[in-house]
A and B are shown apart, each in its own frame.
Chain A
């Protein structure tokens, strides 16, 4: 009965397997090993990995072959009278000393590479990387450029409503751009919980820890787009905050920096513009979908017990000043952090949006917030 059951089970599992495996054409049966990466360090790390891997394979094969030989040759049938030895000092000393020597042979090159990785000199370009739930902020310290990188994969792809794209979960709305051949140093920290910034192609993995600044550096010689991920559990969207670095030639990099600065100037001009409610709402929805939706959800309903609802909330209905204050300062002891890093326009838009959407405008006082309100809030208070 049991055998039949398992036979049927395996048959249906096989069918299921064929059924679901066929359409996943992008998948890769040959993604078996670490990749070499693209930098000198990542190549050294790869060599170390292969060295220790082969040493382990050889040790494993030696041990297992003796064991399997015994299992074959020393069965009760073939060897009815067991031997009686139960110690051998020479052998025991040998198999203590030899592994010790092998370990030293592995630890020495590993330590050498590690010393190289721990080079603390400042880079040609220094980028502060800050982990947020659940996005990365990049600030170019010399070039005065700053932006957030959010996952750009569509929710419909994640929930299987449309086919998944080639870079599913590995694409962002804004890539980190660095030039070839320059020493780039990353200063890695976090704003809320611990994250970890991992770029396999550069062999960099550094935890981003609130209150600490960790450093890592790289020199990349090959232009291209490199993809990495967050590798420290940081809450519910831990799997959805990828890292994408675009390495370009120096002149392309200079042009990119120039354009980013122009954008910033344009954005500053927007602060003084006269905004209509509809314009604020439109922009606010975009800001909301990028920054707020993970916790407060699409209909502002929140998640019971952890993330408060915005739809129908007293603050969103009646307390405009408190509403601004929460976004600027965060809520002490709760998951809500300050969003003062958003622009005045973005803040005004998103507050207006959450005071107007989901029936809040009708249920409450419907007051909107304009960029000037945020500027006023930021004025030094007496």
Chain B
């Protein structure tokens, strides 16, 4: 992804610096995008390795591989690393690479802050992972870190966890501000708001969500810090505090966070389906309005994560209805994608395969989300594997498939080389089968009554847990193939044309492949 050709028709007086300083001091959006993408891939493998530990322990009833204490550390770190280290930085990396090129801007608006927002991330995750080696072990209270398990009853490493979350939050806020400022100020003449590519739109909305909720998360962890070290009782019932307050604050951040991880995927998939259907996207403006509605609704549905905490009846009914309402704009998006494919002229290259799988599997995840919104039924689903199945369906074949689709789709533009189509398809089918074998049976396990975050389980859940583990190993090890394909493409391969894909639209396809180090130093002319 980092190949750069220096003497090019769009040439400039300076190219990238040599050696390690290129990466340390870079203010180039393409370099920083590359850094973000590699970083997120490393985190994806680390978080994935933890998932393998979890699934290995759950392969059979009984404790075999790890102790419950360590198991809880694994589920906590797996969640934190995949969300904050895997999915979010991957989307920021894609935004860095693509937003300036898609709006005809020379770079991000705030390049030095861009460098800073990336380079603090490795420190955040170094701190988080180092807690594994501390006395008392890593955070063990789940990625949702409910107080008081995460305050009074937490291991000492919780303080490092809090500091690390602060750094991640600062990085996300800086990244988001950069995206907003870039989009608002640096669009080429003629790129009006309603002419922006959907990936740009999706990121503009995502960035506002990030700016709105990351400070709330920072507030939550700061209150935890005060409770742990400075004698306050925000969440300590014995001191007059309120443990449920923590959940309200956390999910006021947490639910928009869910959409932060899916909106950019909507943008990506819209581009890919349009390209490989060779047909203009159906309902552009309704796509934009749908994303805006989803984003706004995301602020008024948080308590659907808390249906069992004992909310008053009126609150339960309000949050049930508000949550169900989200299905309307989400449905519009799915219908639009299908309508785009309808009477198109479709081919099935790897990005398209991932995008189609996204639409199907994300829809399944969305439908199970609708089931979860029904409060009386949620009393049976809540905190069981049904929930685990639901959110993995929207996050793995949802967010992560969209990221993989994006890599296959744009990597020819980034490196100038085509990836190996045969291996790409193999990677897709292994991932597709793996993901479904892993997560589909978890619906059964959950409905049959197995709670989540259990290191061991009763015998009636044994069969499907074993199937799920086999699927997880298949999915996990298939990702090494992805690494291989990406490396192979970075190092060489069939040269890509500038247009790359027959049906591709957008400014990024008008520059050379690989994209020169500096693009659009003079604004492009838009017809």
Contacts and interface: CB of A to CB of B under 8 A. Distances in A.
Contacts of B285: 87
Contacts of A75: 345-348
Interface of A: 2-3, 6, 9, 13, 17, 20-21, 24, 26-29, 31-35, 41, 44-45, 48-49, 52-53, 56, 59-60, 63-64, 66-67, 70-71, 74-76, 79-88, 91-92, 95-96, 99-100, 103, 106-107, 110-111, 113-115, 117-118, 133, 157-160, 164, 166-170, 192-194, 196, 198, 200, 203-207, 209-212, 214-215, 229-240, 303-306, 333-335
Q: Which interface residue of A29, A44, A66, A198 has the most chain B CB atoms within 10 A?
A: A198
Contact of B459 (A24, A76, A160, A333): A24
Given A26-B462, A86-B283, A235 B153 contact: yes
A306 to B, nearest CB: 4
Given A31-B460, A334-B152, A113 B376 contact: yes
Contacts of A233: 72, 141-142, 146, 149, 453
Interface stretch (B17-25, B108-116, B129-137, B396-404): B129-137
A310 B483 CA distance: 49
Contacts of A303: 69, 136
A211 B237 contact: yes
B374 interface: yes
B134 A60 contact: no
A373 B367 CA distance: 61
Given A49-B380, A99-B328, A231-B382, A238 B459 contact: no
A237 B380 CA distance: 22
Given A63-B335, A169-B457, 16 more contacts: A26-B460, A70-B341, A74-B345, A85-B282, A96-B328, A96-B331, A114-B317, A114-B376, A158-B63, A204-B379, A205-B308, A230-B451, A231-B308, A239-B455, A240-B456, A304-B136
B449 A76 contact: no
Given A66-B338, A103-B327, A164 B451 contact: no
B479 interface: no
Contact of A164 (B59, B61, B363): B61
B459 A33 contact: no
Interface in B134-156: 134-137, 140-142, 146, 148-149, 152-153, 155-156
B491 interface: no
B313 interface: yes
A131 to B, nearest CB: 12
A92 B348 CA distance: 27
A193 B235 CA distance: 11
Given A63-B335, A76-B346, A82 B279 contact: yes
A60 B327 contact: no
B415 interface: no
Contacts of A232: 146, 383
B466 A110 contact: no
Contact of B379 (A45, A96, A239): A45
Contact of A206 (B310, B374, B462): B310
Contacts of B344: 70, 74, 79, 82-83
Contacts of B170: none
B24 to A, nearest CB: 36
19 contacts: A2-B481, A6-B430, A20-B466, A52-B370, A66-B338, A67-B338, A67-B341, A70-B342, A71-B356, A87-B283, A87-B284, A88-B339, A100-B328, A114-B313, A214-B309, A231-B384, A235-B72, A238-B72, A305-B137
A369 to B, nearest CB: 27
Given A28-B460, A99-B328, A170-B458, A71 B346 contact: yes
A79 B460 contact: no
B308 A52 contact: no
B463 interface: yes
A91 B445 CA distance: 39
Closest 3 A/B residue pairs (Cβ): A211-B237, A305-B136, A305-B135
B68 A239 contact: yes
Contacts of A159: 62-63
Nearest to B372: A52
Nearest to A167: B458
Interface string B329-369: 00110110011111111111000000010011001100110
Nearest to B239: A211
Interface string B56-77: 0001111110011100100000
A31 B146 contact: no
Contacts of B447: 32-34
B448 interface: yes
Contacts of B462: 24, 26-28
B194 interface: no
A205 B374 contact: no
B411 interface: no
B368 A56 contact: yes
A210 B148 contact: yes
B324 interface: yes
A346 to B, nearest CB: 24
Nearest to A25: B459
Nearest to A102: B327
Given A114-B375, A234-B149, A103 B282 contact: no
